[in-house]
Amino acid sequence: MDLKGIYSDILFSVLNEKIEYSEMYSLIEVPKHSHLGDLAFPCFQLSKIERTSPAILSKNIASQLHSPYLERAEAVGPYVNVFLNKEKISKDIIDAVMHEGANYGSHSFGNGETIVLDLSSPNIAKPFSMGHLRSTVIGNAVSLIAKKCAYKPVKINYIGDWGTQFGKLIVAFKKWGDIEQVRQNPIQELFVLYKKFHEEAEMYPELEAEGRRAFKLLEEGDEEITSLWRWFRDESLEAFKAIYDLLGISFDSYHGEAFFNDKMDEVVELLKDKQLLEHSEGAEVVMLPEHNLPPCLIKKSDGATLYATRDLAAALYRQREYSFNQALYVVGQEQTIHFKQVYAVLEKLGYEWAKHLYHIPFGLYLKEGKKMSTRKGRVILLEEVLTKAIEIAKQNIEEKNPHLENSEEVAKAVGIGAVIFHDLKNDRLNDIEFSLEHMLTFEGETGPYVQYTHARAQSILRKANVPFSELKFDGLHDEDSWDVVKLLQNFPDVIKRSHRQYSPSVLAKYLVDLAQSFNKYYGKVRILEEDQEKINRLAFVHSVSTVLREGLSLLGIKAPEEM
């Protein structure tokens, strides 16, 4: 149910097409204070057409507005403010939630089209840091919301398993590594070796050349070097999968950069055939002056390919493999120019589908105002943060509800939910200063607050012990329940906006608003009081619980029934 649409229909029948419907719809707004009404139509635009004072127009219009959906209409200066029929509209909305359940808020405009998402993409042989959390959880939420809109998402974890850094790591392992220590604690030991290489390279710059030579051997298929690289990759993937299991995130493909090594020659040949390759300072590039972009580097002077070459090969492969309608790259905003170049090159190659590739940028986690850096050791490990979050959740449970069943499972859901929600409630383009204290606060605008509100609603329903089949809704009349009903009505639109903006924060902020509004209602109304409206109130509580649970699930967060 679209409340603005209802008001627009009523208005349009009175205005006799004096203003376009779409324009009229866009002008309708929500008054700042609820005592002024539920919706307001400003008459300024109409007054220019009618050449009449907005205040006079508002009085004329208000006097003509009549509908079963309206309680009353009032002229307030130049505005036509309306109060909606709470009983009728709330019944329609709660009936819809009760009937549709978890499907409430779904859309069909995706039409089963395929959306490929490139997300997470950590580098092998390095610990999974907070720096990769944003791509992982934003990309996962975007895919879940897209599925709610009837798209078919395909999640690809484009693992960083190729490049000069692996030559450096292999040099470090051969110089200072202990094979037994690496076997016992592979990721941590490889991380120590990686940092040591860069520390030593500052004193002995010739190490950089050794690293490049080792990577060249890897590219040429040297048996010993390749064996080490495979070992590092396998150990890394095992460690990553343990973290993904904690987060509750899975992928449809783990094809990383190395997978495209034998697919890049085709890209170079295609560019040659189209006469797009040019020589520049020994390198081969595609010039992009018509896009106001710097040249896209395809091959370095030593013949080595670059990120752009692999991304071009990956795009071609994914289109052939999945026949996608859209491809989303959930990658930090510092890569904006790179993706513009890749998309521009694909367009110059004549691929129409290149117009449906989108970079979904996001800000960084900062540590003391600075970008985290694995090389400089300024990094916070995600596994440690998740473990700490679960520990704090356990402590809270032991203090407040020591006899809770499934306490381990609930602590995991709450702790991990706190970390995910803290990330997603922030606009994705904003940088986030890392603060374990803020992330793991279980009060205020947090994931645990929304989870607790859901658990509170479930507790009320358990105490009432009324079968779902007996829950009927005929309408509530108080202002606090009406505020919640209007938010429930808005859920489908929130889903649509979250998808179209590729912004899970729209949904996360909505869930906080819904939880706050319901808790305000809970604080004022005796829900379980035995009177004729008790069943109405229970149906209302059930609907709130349904939307909170579904909203959290679309962010990749579980909703415990008890906390």
For the cut 90, the answer to whether the pLDDT of residue 461 exceeds it is yes
Residue by residue, DSSP assigns 452-472 as HHHHHHHHHHHHHT--GGG--
Lowest average pLDDT, out of 272-276, 283-287, 415-419, 473-477, goes to 473-477
Amino acid identity at 545: S
On whether the CB atoms of residues 499 and 149 are closer than 8 A, the answer is: yes
> Looking at residues 10-15, what average pLDDT do you find?
95
The pairing of beta strand 432-433 with beta strand 365-367: parallel
Average pLDDT over residues 6-19: 93
Q: Would you state the pLDDT for residue 111? A: 98
pLDDT at 374 over 70: no
Please state, in angstroms and rounded to a whole number, the distance separating the CA atoms of residues 159 and 121. Answer: 4
- Which range in 92-106, 121-135, 425-439 is most confidently predicted, on average pLDDT? 92-106
Residue 438, pLDDT score: 80
Burial of 1 (0-12, 13-18, 19+ CB in 10 A): middle
Query: How far is 297 from 306, CA to CA, in rounded Å?
Result: 7
Residue 533 DSSP SS3? coil
**In terms of Cα–Cα distance, which of 495, 487, 504 is closest to 540?**
487
Mean per-residue pLDDT, 248-272: 95
Does residue 48 or residue 376 have the better pLDDT?
48
pLDDT digits (tens, 9 = 90+) for 164-188: 899 999 999 999 999 999 988 888 8
Q: Which residue has the tokens 């897209």?
A: 146
Residue 534 DSSP label: H
Confirm if 344 and 351 have CB atoms less than 8 A apart.
no
Strand ranges, E, within 69-217 = 70-76, 79-84, 114-119, 152-157
Q: Given this model, what pLDDT does residue 174 score?
A: 96
Q: Which two tokens stand for residue 334?
A: 């510092």
Q: Give the architecture (CATH level 2) of 3-84.
A: 2-Layer Sandwich (3.30)
Q: Provide the CB-side half-sphere exposure for 261 (13 A, CA).
A: 13
Q: What is the pLDDT of residue 434?
A: 84
Name the segment(s) of the chain with CATH classification 3.40.50.620. 114-261+305-371
Residue 498 has pLDDT above 60, yes or no: yes
Could you give the CA distance from residue 420 to residue 409 in angstroms, rounded to a whole number?
16
Q: What pLDDT, in 10s, does the model give residues 151-163?
A: 999 999 999 999 8
Q: Are 358 and 500 in contact (CB under 8 A)?
A: no
Structure tokens at 281: 């300072």
Per-residue pLDDT for 375 more than 90? Answer: no
Give the per-residue pLDDT at 17: 85
User: What percent of the chain shows pLDDT beyond 70?
Assistant: 98
Q: Which residue has the tokens 């080490």?
A: 228
What are the phi and psi torsion angles at 117 (to 5°)? -120, 130
455, 539 in Cβ contact below 8 A? no
Provide the CATH number for the domain formed by 114-261+305-371 in this structure: 3.40.50.620
* Measured CA angle at 479 (ends 546, 534), to 5 deg: 55
What mean pLDDT is reported for the chain? 94
| Kind plus residue range of the DSSP H or E element containing 358 | strand 357-359
**Helical segments of 108-151, H only:** 133-148
Residue 444: per-residue pLDDT: 87
HSE-up (13 A, CA, CB side) for residue 230: 7
pLDDT in tens, 276-308: 999 998 899 999 999 999 999 999 877 666 889
CATH, range 382-554: 1.10.730.10
Of 220, 231, 159, the closest CA to residue 190 belongs to 231
Cα–Cα distance, 332 to 432 (Å, whole number): 13
* Parallel, antiparallel or unpaired: strands 326-329 and 365-367: unpaired
Report yes or no: 398 and 533 within 8 Å, Cβ to Cβ. no
What is the per-residue pLDDT for 59?
97
Q: Please give the pLDDT value at position 478.
A: 83
* Total residues found in the chain within this entry: 563
Neighbours of 150 (CB within 10 A): 14
- pLDDT computed for residue 371 by the predictor: 80
> Which pLDDT score, from 0 to 100, does residue 440 have?
75
Residue 174: closest CA among 196, 204, 206: 196
Closest to 340 in 3D by CA, of 293, 307, 385: 293
- Distance (Å, whole) CA 422 – CA 416: 10
Residues 241-251, mean pLDDT to the nearest whole number: 96
Residues of the chain with CATH 1.10.730.10: 382-554
d(CA 32, CA 293): 45
Enter the pTM of the model: 0.93
Contacts of 479 (CB under 8 A, 6+ apart): 34
Q: What angle do CA 5, 6, 8 make, to 5 degrees?
A: 60
Rounded to a whole number, what is the largest CA-CA distance in the chain? 87
How big, in percent rounded to 5, are the helix, strand and coil portions of the chain? Answer: 60, 10, 30
8-state DSSP, 122: P
> Position 286: which residue type?
V
- Amino acid, res. 251: F
| Strand order, beta sheet including 365-367 | 370-371, 365-367, 432-433
Q: Whole-angstrom Cα distance, residue 62 to residue 4? A: 16
| Span 323-368, pLDDT tens digits | 999 999 999 999 999 999 999 999 999 999 999 999 999 999 887 7
pLDDT band for position 379 (cuts 50, 70, 90): confident
The Cα–Cα gap between 456 and 453 comes to: 5
